[in-house]
Amino acid sequence: NAGVTQTPKFRILKIGQSMTLQCTQDMNHNYMYWYRQDPGMGLKLIYYSVGAGITDKGEVPNGYNVSRSTTEDFPLRLELAAPSQTSVYFCASSYWDRDPLGYTFGSGTRLTVV
């Protein structure tokens, strides 16, 4: 199993450009998440999804959008990139039944906005 796959691994954007960070999981997990990680700040939740067609905002959603048309894919869209969006982005998935299980994370996308 590939687990959670994120692309690209690195990207440099100019201010005002847009891009989509891709995330795919092959574990049939129903829940998926996007986090950003800044030095010394921990992981902050951007958006999450509890299933295909269902998404909701997390702690820091401004400047981002998501969609979830299939169970496997959960892309994150950045519109009008700003320097404040320079960060490392992680996608994660989980299958939540009665017992909470740990997330499976992707390897991350390091984004620099200049």
Partner 1 sequence: EDQVTQSPEALRLQEGESSSLNCSYTVSGLRGLFWYRQDPGKGPEFLFTLYSAGEEKEKERLKATLTKKESFLHITAPKPEDSATYLCAVLRGGGTSYGKLTFGQGTILTVHP
* Closer residue to partner 1 (CB): 78 or 89: 89
How near is the Cβ of 66 to partner 1 at its closest, in Å?
14
CB 46 within 8 A of CB 61: yes
Contacts with partner 1 by CB under 8 A lie at 4, 31, 33, 35, 40-45, 48, 50, 56, 58, 90, 92, 94, 96, 100-108
Q: Residue 74: which of 18, 28, 34, 26 has the closest Cα?
A: 34
In Å, how far from its chain's centre is CA 21?
Answer: 7
* Closer residue to partner 1 (CB): 33 or 81: 33
CB 31 within 8 A of CB 53: no
How near is the Cβ of 42 to partner 1 at its closest, in Å?
4
- Parallel, antiparallel or unpaired: strands 109-113 and 10-13: parallel
* Closer residue to partner 1 (CB): 1 or 102: 102
